[in-house]
Structure 1
Amino acid sequence: MDIVIEKNVFEYLKKLEKNNNRDWFNDHKKEFKLIEANVKHVYSQLFELLKTHDDVDTFKIFRIYRDVRFSKNKLPYKTHFGGSFNRVKPYLRGGYYVHIQPNNESFIATGFWDPNKEDLLRIRKEFEMDDQDIRDIINDKTFKNIWGELTGDELITAPKGFDRDHKAIDLIKKKQYIFTKKYTDKEVLDPNFIHEVNNAFRAIRPYFDYMSDVLTTDLNGVSII
């Protein structure tokens, strides 16, 4: 039987947003534990679904407690749940993320959030040499209907060593390579939500297969692992 996100998850997070302090949180700790358990079960079920079509080895649900040491925002608690799912490294690259937040702020994301400098250079060099394969993937009609446009932080101009007038400069100057998909509260509470998310993640595979091949080979296509 499928496990669904329960309505009281959003209700609790909305109350936490209005009462983001330790006294209120401690007074409602029992309620938090109940909704946390519900969310963990949903993420666990998604993990099992992902394993039917991808090699994922771990998943992590992030703690509700905020790290305020280096932040101007000193509110102690997050008002959302977030969890990540990891593909088997080093052969497979990329990852999945699910973000549950009320007021129609939920979303899923996938791709490359923070590639190290070696991986980022390798990706850029690939696009410099040939950008047709990646464009064929991300511009595919079915793919685009699900995931929309490739997003991520980018440089203002070309990175060092690259031509700012290169035809693939829109890809080369990116620092992240991410796809996101938003959901309304109603969609998250729908009994089919977890399967819809799984199907969206399944659809990202052509992108992951391509990027994994790039990041596990040199520019001559020879394996480096």
Structure 2
Amino acid sequence: MAATIAKSTLQFLSDLSRNNTREWFAENKARYEAARKDYISFLDEMLKEMTAFEPVAGTQTGKDLIFRIYRDVRFSNDKRPYKDHFGAYVAGGGRKSILPGYYLHLAGNNNSFLAGGLWMPPADYLKAVRQEIDYSLDEFTQIVEAPAFKKKFGELQGEQLKTTPKGYEKDNPAIAYLRFKSWNAVMPLSDKTVLSPGFMEVVMDGFKSLKPFNDFLTAPLKEIGKE
């Protein structure tokens, strides 16, 4: 039987979003531990399923992927001590990797989602991906503008330049995609979907759909550092 997410896990995250204080968290520490364990158990099963199409998944465990729930508030105006969600990232190099990968975000109040792509890459990665999109625009649009892809993920998301990136003309056919500073495909997940018996199938279907997108973004990065 495929792994599922317990209703109590989503309920804890929903309650935390309304009671984001150290006092409340301390009183509900046992609930947090149970919810975290439930999420990690789901991730372990998810990784096993992913190995069929994403080899990097076979080198990681759920515990490796999950981000800390404690927020770093030192340089933030938002002083809430905890994240109100669980997040996990599958990519070469682990959860802190700057390579394209797969992200699963679990939150209450219909705020869950899965996503893939490249998030805020360093300058050399950004330049390499822009070149690849410019050279291989047809291949890129066949992935991100395919009806099945758009039905799941809609338009690509990510911060964009307001101007034309250096080295490109504003009438470049690829300019709409070259302005991105991150290339992210995001698929919303309702609470009903997250709590359904078939949630693992939904996640696998979403991640499989992201595989060609991630592969396209990864290809130009493999040459960096080889010169």
TM-score (norm 1): 0.89
The aligned counterpart of 2:89 is 84
The aligned counterpart of 1:65 is 70
Counterparts of 1:116 and 1:44, CA distance in 2: 30
* Alpha-carbon shift at residue 88 of structure 1 (Å): 6.6
Counterpart AA for 2:100: G
Counterpart AA for 2:219: D
- Checking the alignment, whether the CA contact within 8 Å between 2:116 and 2:214 is kept in structure 1 is no
> What are the Cα deviations for residues 36-84 of structure 1, in whole angstroms up to 9, with x where unaligned?
1111101111111111211123341011111111111111111111111
- Checking the alignment, whether the CA contact within 8 Å between 1:80 and 1:99 is kept in structure 2 is yes
The aligned counterpart of 2:198 is 192
- Checking the alignment, whether the CA contact within 8 Å between 2:118 and 2:217 is kept in structure 1 is no
1:117 is aligned to 2:155 = no
Q: SS state of the match for residue 66, structure 1? A: coil
User: Structure 1 23/88 Cα, relative in aligned 2: closer, same or farther at 3 Å?
Assistant: closer
1:38 is aligned to 2:22 = no
1:204 is aligned to 2:210 = yes
Structure 1: runs of 5+ lacking an equivalent: none
Aligned partner (choices 170, 176, 182) of residue 176 of structure 1: 182
* 4+ residue segments displaced more than 4 Å: none
Counterpart AA for 1:146: K
Structure 2: runs of 5+ lacking an equivalent: none
Counterparts of 1:130 and 1:17, CA distance in 2: 43
* Alpha-carbon shift at residue 18 of structure 1 (Å): 2.4
The aligned counterpart of 2:80 is 75
Higher helix share: 2
Structure with max Cα Rg: 1
1:105 is aligned to 2:111 = yes
Q: SS state of the match for residue 65, structure 1? A: coil
> What are the Cα deviations for residues 110-153 of structure 1, in whole angstroms up to 9, with x where unaligned?
00012221111111122333411111221222222222222211
Counterparts of 2:8 and 2:146, CA distance in 1: 38
Counterparts of 2:108 and 2:188, CA distance in 1: 12
TM-score (norm 2): 0.88
User: Structure 1 164/192 Cα, relative in aligned 2: closer, same or farther at 3 Å?
Assistant: same
